[in-house]
Amino acid sequence: MRRRVQQDTLGRRGHAKDPLYRARRLLLTGANHLTEKMATKLDALLQEGDPNWEVTITWTVYQKLIDAYQQSDSHDMVTLIDALKDLGVPPAWSEARGGADS
């Protein structure tokens, strides 16, 4: 998702100074592991490099999915996952549907 958005907005894959390219490692870090400084940096990079909020929304849903799988009660886990499924995925976001273009 990050690379596609970057390609669409800048017309190229990441360069060292591009905001989304600089955010790539932070995007792989779980929200519960981000320090306040890291969270502030991620927020600033996403605001600068994600004009349509695509990466931001995808990262947020991904974090909620991680939280769901970390629930000790399987009923809570299923409830959270069902709530995420009900959100739906825009057709343009094929990455979020496992790359299927259906």
| Total number of domains in the chain | 1
Q: Which two tokens stand for residue 62?
A: 């991904």
Q: Which residue range is the domain that position 10 belongs to? A: 2-97
pLDDT tens string for the chain (102 positions)?
788 888 888 787 878 889 999 999 999 999 999 999 999 999 999 999 999 898 998 898 889 888 888 878 888 778 877 877 776 666 666 555 555 444
Which residue shows structure tokens 């009923």?
A: 75
CB-neighbour burial class of residue 54 (10 A; exposed 0-12, middle 13-18, buried 19+) = buried
Considering the entire predicted model, what is its pTM?
0.72
**CA 94 to the chain's CA centroid:** 13
Q: Report how far residue 83's alpha carbon sits from residue 15's, in angstroms, rounded to the nearest whole number.
A: 36
- Establish if 102 belongs to a structural domain: no
